[in-house]
Structure 1
Amino acid sequence: MVKHFNLYFKNKIFNCICIMFFVLGCSTVKIEKTDIGYGWANNSVNTVKFRKNALTTHNEYQFIAYYDENSYLILGKRKINTKKWEIFKTSYKGNTKDAHNDISIAIDGDGFLHVCWDQHDSKLRYVKGKSPLSIKIGEEEPMTGKEELKVTYPEFYNLANGGLLFFYRSGASGRGNMVINSYDIKSKKWIQIQENLLDGEDKRSAYWQACIDAKGIIHLSWVWRESWDVSTNHDLCYARSKDGGITWEKSTNEKHILPITASTAEYAWRIPQNSSLINQTAMTVDKHGNPFIVSYWSENKTPQYQIVYLDDGKWMKSNTGFRKTSFYLGGGGTKQIPISRPDIFIDDNGTHSSLYIIFRDEERGNKISLAYSNLNEKSNWKITDLTKLSVGQWEPNYDINLWNKNHKLCVFLQKVTQVDGEGLEDVKPTMIQVLELNKLPK
């Protein structure tokens, strides 16, 4: 009896110690916020997930872009590890009533700012900085003059040689094609390298996410959508390029004959229509170059955040499984959804490798939340909230370049609303902030 009691007591102490160390570990996560200025908050245009990028860093400077309360394009920069921002109100405006019309920015290898904004099946709007590291911009100009009349979802990606890639959809939802432009810093010119990489064959369109690894390999994944209705999203596909986007292959090294279609694509994971599958999420790679794709969909009636990843040449899936509330995703326009699209990154320096997901969920009071798991042990997911108050219909966007360089997490933060189906809420402008974490939970 005494022996059993002692064993019980020891187990209790051990569990308490484990909990204590877990709490102490989480308490070391230092979170700081920096105020920048007030922004448009009547919908989610400043915080949509498909911004590439809302925040970006070049050398010692971090840059930001957003719409103010009067829909003007605002640009800003600061020296990293400081709180003082230089802000420039441009003469350009955007149609902020449409949450698709986001702003994307990048800095090329010579330090020039590139900005694209106000795009939804409309003419390209693109400007460059006047000088290196300047937030003063020039006049609107074309990139290549090709496929620039019906542009949607502009995204910039940095290349190791200092150049840039620019991804966008040409055409409308359900029948659009994926275009890729490439910027050379020597000639300071754009060329179009893909006019129609992902071909919907006038029957469907691709909604993608991408990342570029340390070796310069472009990893691309996407879902197909059969119409304007988000419920027709289906399947998760994958392709990669080892030469800057010119040629593409499957994970098996099999070369693609371009363009890639529904019948020729590599399917990382089969997901049927009407699964509440979301589009335009995020992906990353581990230190071995294996892609990790995060999304959400339902395998019963409760959408869960899911990770599809490559392991020893085989596609695997991990269901985080921590959500409890069901909902159904369907209809058109920008949706009011109980959860945000997720972002993802991996901390695999040293002996401890962790996988992180940034998200928002009504279950947790619509706070910014961070879920994490041991990548090597594939342990259960733990969750910590990074804000105390609700951020409304916010979706995550973090400074990818700063994370890759310094392993410091900076997240674009603004409390916003989103009325379902592209509606507007009559609310006051809210503060644009940058949320910074100098140490992550393990």
Structure 2
Amino acid sequence: MLINSNDLKRLLGLLIVIFLCSCSGIKIRTSEVGPGWAKNSVNTVIFRQSAITSDQQYQFTAYYDNDSYLVLARREVGSSKWKIQKTQYQGNTKDAHNAISIALDGEGFLHVSWDHHDSNLKYAVSKQPLSLKLGEMQSMTGKQESKVSYPQFYNFPDGDLLFMYRSGQSGKGSLVLNHFNNETRKWKQIQNNLIDGEGERNAYWQASVDKKNRIHLSWTWRETWDVSTNHDIAYAVSSDKGKIWKKSSGETYTLPINQSSAEIAWEIPQKQNLINQTSMTVNDKGLPFISSYWEEGDQTQFQIVYFQDGKWKKEITDFRNSTFDLGGGGTKSIPISRPEILVTGGIIYLVYRDAERNNRISLAYKKYGLTTDWKVKNLTSYSVGQWEPNYDRRVFKSNKELHLFVQNVKQEDAEGLSDTEPTMIKIVELTKLPIK
């Protein structure tokens, strides 16, 4: 069912507007998209990859509404008016793992995958380029598509797509990589078990594709279902779209990668509040930067591991004043979000929210490798609950603008549901990143 802005205004009293505000001296522009499911954090988990994407003409986003329908939205770049499409598809929104991932291929077709937690692949493509109308659900490769979790799309600069997901249950799952050829319009499985937990552990990953089509991959090992058994940050890189994988030294991995063969970028023991499924990026030279948080001393701080001058280095932030106990299973209610990292012009930017800052969206930044202090600014004056950051990577790469998918949500511990009414999906835009 297609919903235009007049229908929304009549039925919901929704006004699509632009809000201009200044938070800590930063110019912020906000556009409202539509009301979304808010009883848990399924719309805002950091591992959506991506919640928002664009080409040179249009920007797209996706979310679940209060009836658990998959909703797509599109606007012209620079406009505040969103066109809304309630699709024919629904998801199990009671499980916050079941997030939506979207991507545009080189021909402008929108690819959408949604509603996965050890379940059958749900995947559809728009009927026409830049359209909000999805076709029928379809298979990608027909291989390992019955127990899918954490689906993620990544864009190659040449128009191809990478699709990564876990096949199988936590502790026994395989990391699968599929490659979409933009010219042939076909998917091909590249890896059926890239990282092997050997039946004893599981890898929780994050990735980034650089301008040379290289895939940078990092992950944290977890020994059991309990998040407190997370440990270490490992790394691998591929220069041929996922076939051959190497360490930062250039040494080629024998596949699959396991705990004994993995390059440890940073050693972190168990029971240190190390979180899984965070974010990574590359700098202007194509060097990897990985963000996470874990405890050192008596405080849990955001930390950045990065590769420079032939070795791994670390930046620890110092702006948090408290700690907490990270343990157990399921989706957790945690006082801080997982951080999203951006790097440009020698500056690290972390986007996050923290109960210490009243759960507002915050931006921390500093020049890496220097002893200067971190600076922290609020991007919102209001709380976003248990929101986690998702941003438009293509807009950032092309224009150095930060466009965030934002919704105020409440997450109860261990897949619990709150009684929260639908809240507004917003796109918060920062057109100029602070440098001082």
TM-score, normalized by the shorter chain, greater than 0.5: yes
Write the letter of the residue equivalent to 2:375.
K
Residue aligned with 1:431, SS = strand
* 1:186 counterpart = 2:179: no
Match of 1:217 among 214, 218, 236: 214
* 1:206 counterpart = 2:203: yes
Residue aligned with 2:61, SS = strand
Write the letter of the residue equivalent to 2:91.
G
> Post-superposition shift, 1:409?
0.7
Match of 2:144 among 139, 143, 147: 147
* 1:46 counterpart = 2:43: yes
> Post-superposition shift, 1:301?
2.9
| CA RMSD in angstroms, aligned pairs only | 1.1
> Post-superposition shift, 1:59?
2.0
* 1:57 counterpart = 2:50: no
Q: Distance in 2 between matches of 1:107 and 1:303?
A: 37
Who is 2:261 aligned against? Answer: 264
Who is 1:411 aligned against? Answer: 404
Q: Distance in 2 between matches of 1:26 and 1:126?
A: 39
Q: Distance in 2 between matches of 1:87 and 1:128?
A: 17
Cα deviation code 1:364-411 (max 9, x no counterpart): 000000000023635210000111111000000000011001111100
Match of 1:30 among 5, 27, 31: 27
Cα deviation code 1:186-244 (max 9, x no counterpart): 21110100000011111111000100111111100000011111011111000000011
Q: Distance in 1 between matches of 2:373 and 2:116?
A: 40
Match of 2:321 among 321, 324, 328: 324
Kept in 1, the 8 Å contact 2:24–2:378? The answer is no
Write the letter of the residue equivalent to 1:417.
K
Match of 1:429 among 405, 422, 426: 422
Sequence identity of aligned pairs in percent? 57
Who is 1:12 aligned against? Answer: none
Who is 2:194 aligned against? Answer: 197
Cα deviation code 1:13-61 (max 9, x no counterpart): xxxxxxxxxxxx9855210110110000000000001001000011211
Structure 2, unaligned runs of 5 or more: 1-21
Q: Distance in 2 between matches of 1:431 and 1:56?
A: 19
Who is 1:372 aligned against? Answer: 365
Residue aligned with 2:397, SS = helix
Kept in 1, the 8 Å contact 2:26–2:379? The answer is no
* 1:397 counterpart = 2:390: yes
Match of 2:308 among 299, 311, 315: 311
Greater than 6 Å deviation, 4+ residue runs: none
Cα deviation code 1:341-374 (max 9, x no counterpart): 00000121xxxx3210000100000000000002
Which has the higher Rg, Structure 1 or Structure 2? 1
Q: Distance in 2 between matches of 1:30 and 1:85?
A: 22
Kept in 1, the 8 Å contact 2:284–2:344? The answer is no
> Post-superposition shift, 1:321?
1.8
Kept in 1, the 8 Å contact 2:23–2:381? The answer is no
Kept in 2, the 8 Å contact 1:26–1:441? The answer is no
Residue aligned with 1:277, SS = coil
Who is 1:229 aligned against? Answer: 226
Q: Distance in 1 between matches of 2:243 and 2:359?
A: 41
Who is 2:101 aligned against? Answer: 104
Who is 1:337 aligned against? Answer: 334
TM-score (norm 2): 0.94
Who is 2:15 aligned against? Answer: none
Match of 1:75 among 72, 75, 78: 72
* 1:159 counterpart = 2:159: no
Match of 1:388 among 365, 381, 393: 381
Q: Distance in 2 between matches of 1:275 and 1:357?
A: 21
TM-score (norm 1): 0.92
> Post-superposition shift, 1:286?
1.1
Match of 2:87 among 69, 84, 90: 90
Q: Distance in 1 between matches of 2:261 and 2:368?
A: 31
Residue aligned with 2:236, SS = strand
How many residues are paired up? 414
Write the letter of the residue equivalent to 1:46.
N
Who is 1:22 aligned against? Answer: none
Q: Distance in 2 between matches of 1:300 and 1:128?
A: 48
Q: Distance in 1 between matches of 2:85 and 2:134?
A: 10
Who is 2:350 aligned against? Answer: 357
Q: Distance in 2 between matches of 1:378 and 1:183?
A: 43
> Post-superposition shift, 1:300?
2.2
Match of 2:110 among 107, 110, 113: 113
Kept in 1, the 8 Å contact 2:23–2:380? The answer is no
Cα deviation code 1:117-175 (max 9, x no counterpart): 00000000000010111111100011101000000000000012211000000111122
